[in-house]
């Protein structure tokens, strides 16, 4: 999620649940580390656009079916 022109917020909801605020310059490395942690044996991941993230109740939201 983009917070400002140069700051992104990464919301991890999977095996681990965490939030990170990352500058645009460190975004690629942060995503690489998080993907390795979340999917240790995968070499490919699916990335797709979702609807806006609900701030009030993050857990239990409906996910897009692929």
- Helix or strand holding residue 1 (H, E): none
Q: Is the pTM of this model over 0.85?
A: no
What pLDDT does residue 59 have?
Answer: 58
Tally of CA atoms within 13 A in the half-sphere of 26 that contains its CB: 11
Q: Which of 22, 63, 29 is nearest to 46 (CA)?
A: 63
Task: For residue 11, count other CB atoms closer than 10 A to its CB.
Answer: 11
What pLDDT does residue 61 have?
Answer: 56
pLDDT tens digits for range 2-58: 778 889 888 887 788 888 889 989 988 988 888 888 888 887 777 777 777 666 655
Q: How far apart are CA 15 and CA 39, in angstroms?
A: 9
What pLDDT does residue 55 have?
Answer: 67
Q: How far apart are CA 54 and CA 35, in angstroms?
A: 22
């Amino acid at each position: 999620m983009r917070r400002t022109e140069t700051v992104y917020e990464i919301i991890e909801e999977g095996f681990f649940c965490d939030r990170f605020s990352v500058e645009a310059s460190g975004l690629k490395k942060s995503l690489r580390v998080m993907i390795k942690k979340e999917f240790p044996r995968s070499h490919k991941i699916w990335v797709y656009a979702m609807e806006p993230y609900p701030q009030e109740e993050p857990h239990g939201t409906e996910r897009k079916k692929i």
